[in-house]
């Protein structure tokens, strides 16, 4: 990496010129701004106390040292306290010759040591996947691919929350008001059907609370003692007691949901290496809670509930088992963490979960620490912001969510309408059009969500995401298709492409593209370290923009000699391969034609 060479040479220069030692951490280097000449800029202000000279004098002395002692630096210029270094064109061309045909360019060779286990999706089986789940799935899947590209072994896992009071609410509503309705009889996807009854429960529950309050009961008490809720709680207890009738309904309704989830996952293009079920892991969690009680690190209240006191850790008392012996979310998370540690001995356990669960994961780490599980420090909560719509937040209980299946259908229809209006696909077959619309719609959706830093709350705007101009998936996809079209046109013109062709002189635009492509491995590394696919998304956007500038400002197939045409086509091919690789790390396909 040239930046490391420049940093090391700066340390050497300070020692040689001023007989003083500095560390590499004291050297600040950045890319030169595009409105100045140069490739890399070194900030000299930290060295003025050493040189005892003005910023300009110090920068000029350092610049001359670089030109005289480092063959990669051919020239320099000084702007106040900033030293701009010009890197020899040969350096970029040698990089190009070495990497342009490397099918693994950007990737780090895989490491087979301890894996990184990444959990994402984690749906509840009482409702279909919605827009919030889409961000979770896309982020988890893309992070997994990026971390893998950076050389780590990755295990992609899903924990299905298939038990608990929320599941019982859907089951109870279906038993009360379902009249035996099934996905087949209703024509609904199974997850949608179960979600319908979850919303129905909430509607009847609120009506009962209202009636109790009107009859003089305190609202807080009414929420706890409404007969519907109490009946759902009894159902949960019977479920944990293995009641065969309750289990039969549970298995039937969960089966409907799993089939629906699989269809959505397939359409979204995400998958997992292993799926865990809370109905299995909560039992191990319960054993660990009882172990903690026996060791005296947890305590029991008068009603029999089991708690962990985390006040010394700046948290609070945390319920681990209810008074009736039933489990809560933290119970199964304790069990799942132990199970994954035992199975994989991972380098890191990453949980892709929204930022409303920050407290929960702080508690999980501390609870495991109290149990003597020193590997608790391997747990990392990849906390991401919520997805909002232009009109506000979504609410599952009230049914005011953007359903994942409906959203993907809407995106497909929008991609179809927008593409057909451009009038460039009339010669496509029906199958070719359908594949293109799917590629564009998913590309628009995934890119729009992943280009935002995970920590930030985002507003999703479907129409904006499908725009063929600006920082969008279709914009990048179109750049790739344009590169492919160049090669089709070259074939039509009978142009023979020399794979080893080199330019007589490197054009400024060509150099900018090479410098940008050079960054790709380091972008992947940075994205993996920060668990942020946004860095990849915004990088491929920059590559697309740079290619479009070359396409518009430099002749590639016309008015050029054979060597120049071949070089520019090969450079375009290198850019196209990098775009394809970068987009694949986001889970996005790129079309050959648009």
The 10s digit of each residue's pLDDT in 368-411 is 999 999 999 999 999 999 888 776 544 444 445 688 998 899 89
> What does the mean pLDDT of the chain come to?
93
pLDDT above 70 covers a percentage of the chain that reads 98
- Taking residues 490-518, what's their average pLDDT? 92
* 335 close to 363: Cβ distance less than 8 angstroms: no
Helix (H, G, I), strand (E, B) or coil at 146: helix
* 425 close to 437: Cβ distance less than 8 angstroms: no
pLDDT at 394 (0 to 100): 42
- Taking residues 159-185, what's their average pLDDT? 95
* 344 close to 378: Cβ distance less than 8 angstroms: no
Distances from the Cα of 20 to the Cα of 60, 81, 235, 255, 535, angstroms: 18, 19, 76, 71, 37
Give the whole-angstrom CA distance, residue 368 versus residue 334. 7
120-388 CATH, one of 3.40.1710.10, 3.60.20.10, 3.40.50.620, 3.40.228.10:
3.40.50.620
pLDDT at 391 (0 to 100): 62
Write out the two tokens for 252.
Answer: 């039937």
The 10s digit of each residue's pLDDT in 259-312 is 999 999 999 999 999 999 999 898 999 999 999 999 999 999 999 999 999 999
Q: Residue 427's pLDDT band (boundaries 50, 70, 90)? A: confident
Give the whole-angstrom CA distance, residue 438 versus residue 415. 8
The 10s digit of each residue's pLDDT in 301-313 is 999 999 999 999 9
Q: Residue 96's pLDDT band (boundaries 50, 70, 90)? A: very high
Give the whole-angstrom CA distance, residue 130 versus residue 136. 10
Provide CB contacts within 8 A for 157, sequence distance 6+.
117, 118, 119, 272, 273, 274, 275, 276, 340
- Taking residues 537-550, what's their average pLDDT? 97
Give the whole-angstrom CA distance, residue 343 versus residue 240. 25
Write out the two tokens for 242.
Answer: 């293995």
pLDDT at 389 (0 to 100): 74
Give the whole-angstrom CA distance, residue 363 versus residue 377. 12
pLDDT at 468 (0 to 100): 83
Using a CB cutoff of 8 Å and minimum separation of 24, what contacts does 21-25 make?
Answer: 22/46, 22/47, 22/50
CA nearest to 379, candidates 118, 113, 111, 133: 118
**The domain 2-87: what is its CATH number?**
3.30.1360.70
DSSP state of 395: B
Apex 300 CA angle, 294 and 303, nearest 5: 140
Question: Is the CA virtual torsion 89, 91, 97, 103 positive or negative?
Answer: negative
pLDDT at 422 (0 to 100): 81
The 10s digit of each residue's pLDDT in 34-50 is 889 999 999 999 999 99
The 10s digit of each residue's pLDDT in 63-73 is 999 999 999 99
- Taking residues 472-500, what's their average pLDDT? 93
Three-state secondary structure readout of 109-120:
CCCCCCCEEEEC
Give the whole-angstrom CA distance, residue 47 versus residue 58. 8
Q: Count the neighbouring beta carbons within 10 Å of the beta carbon of residue 106.
A: 22
Apex 244 CA angle, 239 and 248, nearest 5: 85
List b or e across 317-328, with b for residues whose CB sees 16 or more CB atoms inside 10 angstroms: ebebbbeeebbb
pLDDT at 587 (0 to 100): 98
Q: Residue 508's pLDDT band (boundaries 50, 70, 90)? A: very high
The 10s digit of each residue's pLDDT in 571-593 is 999 999 999 999 999 999 999 99
* pLDDT exceeds cutoff 90 at 29: yes
Question: Is the CA virtual torsion 76, 79, 80, 84 positive or negative?
Answer: negative
Give the whole-angstrom CA distance, residue 564 versus residue 338. 60
Helix (H, G, I), strand (E, B) or coil at 349: strand
CATH 3.30.1360.70 domain extents, the chain: 2-87
Model-level pTM? 0.91
Write out the two tokens for 358.
Answer: 């920050």
CATH 1.10.730.10 domain extents, the chain: 404-585
CATH 3.40.50.620 domain extents, the chain: 120-388
**The domain 404-585: what is its CATH number?**
1.10.730.10
More confident residue, 466 or 398: 466
Distance of CA 242 to the CA centre of its chain: 38
Write out the two tokens for 379.
Answer: 């747990």
**Where is 168: in which H helix or E strand?**
helix 165-177
């Amino acid at each position: 990496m040239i930046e490391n060479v420049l940093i090391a040479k700066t340390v050497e220069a300070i020692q040689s010129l001023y007989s003083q030692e500095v560390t590499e951490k004291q050297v600040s280097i950045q890319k030169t701004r595009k409105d100045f000449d140069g490739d890399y800029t070194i900030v000299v202000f930290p060295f003025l106390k050493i040189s005892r000279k003005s910023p300009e004098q110090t920068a000029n002395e350092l610049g001359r040292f670089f030109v005289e002692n480092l063959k990669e630096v051919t020239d320099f210029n000084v702007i106040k306290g900033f030293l701009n270094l010009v890197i020899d064109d040969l350096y970029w061309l040698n990089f190009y010759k070495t990497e342009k045909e490397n099918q693994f360019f950007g990737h780090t060779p895989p490491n087979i040591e301890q894996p990184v286990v990444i959990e994402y999706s984690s749906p509840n089986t009482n409702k279909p996947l919605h827009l919030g789940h889409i961000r979770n799935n896309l982020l988890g899947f893309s992070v997994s691919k990026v971390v893998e590209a950076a050389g780590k072994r990755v295990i992609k896992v899903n924990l299905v929350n298939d038990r608990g009071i929320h599941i019982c609410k859907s089951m109870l509503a279906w038993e009360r008001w379902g009249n035996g309705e099934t996905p087949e009889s209703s024509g609904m996807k199974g997850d949608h059907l179960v979600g319908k009854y979850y919303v129905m429960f909430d509607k009847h529950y609120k009506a009962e609370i209202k009636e109790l309050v009107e009859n003089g009961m305190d609202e807080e008490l009414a929420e706890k003692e409404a007969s519907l809720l109490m009946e759902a709680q009894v159902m949960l207890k019977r479920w944990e007691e293995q009641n065969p009738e309750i289990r039969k309904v549970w298995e039937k309704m969960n089966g409907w949901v799993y089939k629906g989830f699989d269809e959505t996952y397939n359409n979204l293009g995400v998958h997992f290496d292993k799926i865990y079920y809370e109905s299995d892991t909560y039992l191990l969690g319960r054993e660990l809670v009882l172990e903690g009680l026996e060791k005296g690190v947890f305590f029991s209240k008068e009603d029999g509930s089991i708690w962990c006191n985390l006040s010394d850790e700046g948290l609070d008392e945390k319920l681990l088992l209810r008074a009736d012996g039933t489990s809560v979310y933290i119970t199964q998370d304790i069990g799942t963490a132990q199970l994954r540690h035992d199975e994989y001995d991972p380098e890191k356990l990453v949980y892709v979960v929204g930022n409303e669960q920050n407290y929960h994961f702080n508690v999980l780490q501390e609870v495991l620490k109290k149990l003597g599980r020193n590997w608790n420090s391997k747990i990392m909560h990849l906390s991401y912001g919520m997805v909002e719509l232009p009109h506000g937040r979504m609410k599952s209980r009230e049914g005011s969510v953007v359903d994942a299946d409906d959203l993907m259908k809407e995106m497909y229809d929008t991609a179809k309408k927008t593409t057909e209006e451009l009038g460039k696909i009339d010669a496509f077959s029906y199958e070719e059009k359908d594949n293109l619309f799917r590629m564009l719609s998913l590309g628009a959706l995934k890119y729009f969500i992943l280009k935002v830093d995970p920590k930030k709350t985002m507003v999703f705007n479907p129409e904006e995401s499908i725009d063929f101009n600006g920082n969008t998936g279709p914009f990048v996809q179109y750049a790739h298709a344009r590169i492919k079209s160049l090669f089709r046109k070259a074939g039509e013109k009978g142009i023979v492409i020399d794979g080893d062709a080199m330019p007589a002189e490197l054009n400024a635009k060509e150099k900018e593209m090479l410098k940008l492509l050079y960054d790709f491995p380091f972008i992947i590394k940075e994205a993996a370290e920060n668990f942020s696919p946004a860095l990849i998304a915004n990088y491929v956007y920059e590559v697309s923009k740079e290619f479009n500038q070359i396409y518009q400002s430099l002749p590639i197939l016309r008015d050029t000699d054979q060597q120049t045409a071949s070089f520019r086509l090969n450079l375009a091919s290198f850019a196209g391969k990098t775009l394809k690789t970068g987009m694949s790390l986001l889970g996005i396909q790129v079309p050959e034609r648009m």
